[in-house]
Amino acid sequence: MNLAELNKVAVAMVAPGKGILAADESSGTIKKRFDAIKVESTEDNRRDYREMLFRSTDAMSKYISGVILYDETIWQNAKDGTPLVKLIEQAGSIPGIKVDEGTQALPQCPGELVTVGLDKLAERLKKYYERGARFAKWRAVIDIGAGIPTMTAISVNAHALARYAALCQAAQIVPIVEPEVLMDGDHDIDRCYEVTQRVLNKTFQELRVQRVELEGMVLKPNMAISGKKCPKQASVAEVAEKTVRMLKACVPAAVPGIAFLSGGQSDEEATAHLDAMNKIGNLPWKLTFSYGRALQAAPQKAWSGKSENVAAGQRAFAHRAHMNGLASKGAWESGLEKKAA
């Protein structure tokens, strides 16, 4: 393992003004997204859609540091035969790959899940590296509810995340470590804070036990945020202040950067929260974005599966990427959204 090289990639992934495009929707998820815009989820349509994003030269070269791909996508070629991986590289962005294989019910823990996919991961990583992937992603899912999460769910998921991260670094691939505490419930921001703190502490404990080099990884956490069904939604300022405080308490300064997931926030909320955190400033690590839906909802709608809408889809993507790029430097203002509209 070459730690200097891993660190170089990790630092590039969280470069100021840039963030990561999560284009790693599973077949089921992308079908839901396509259903919403009345597009059939065929292999060709999925390819055309992602090719549109990766050929958005403006967005990709200025605001996107890396792209997380799904297994299907990393092996696909563009319409003209160019591997999609090459399009990403040509734009000056880094190709990455989602390597977990989804979740299963966790035995003895009703309502809780564990992420699977460690079997044969070492072999898969070798192939992904040969194809051009320089970072990977594994997502653990922690739900908040009555009596959950249990320490069991937190422990097994943290253990798997660390196993995955160690395997990645051995394969010369930077791991994105993603322990996601879901925002689906009716819990308030303080409950989210408390659970996320437990999850992050356990995750870093496991990463140390399994000798993962913190300088060669990127963390992808949720923000401290109110559950979707909570009657009292925390303000932008409160989300920013509590998230920064939580991260300072849990995330070692050796980690080069933190790239947030949007986790169901609206496009503008995800941008406003990231911006407010960077405006607090004086942070030991870079704070940026690794958004899926919050970068893609607008371009999907603009494109709607029609080739004549490709330019409109690319403009919508460039706008969202630009707004989040500004937020990653604490330079965003809501007035910029109105201007573009």
Among all residues, which ones are annotated catalytic?
178, 220
> How is residue 288 annotated by DSSP?
E
58's enclosing H/E stretch is helix 57-63
> Within a 13 Å sphere around the CA of 157, how many CA atoms are in the beta-carbon half?
33
Report, in angstroms and rounded to the nearest whole number, the Rg of the chain calculated over CA atoms: 19
The residue written with tokens 């494109």 in the block is 303
Amino acid residing at 128: Y
Specify the 3-state DSSP secondary structure of 258: strand
Letter for the amino acid at 75?
A: W
Q: Give the Cα-Cα-Cα angle 333, 13, 193 (nearest 5 degrees).
A: 65
Helices (H), 228-309: 236-250, 267-280, 293-303
- 183 and 227 Cβ atoms separated by less than 8 Å: yes
Tokens representing 269 are: 């909320």
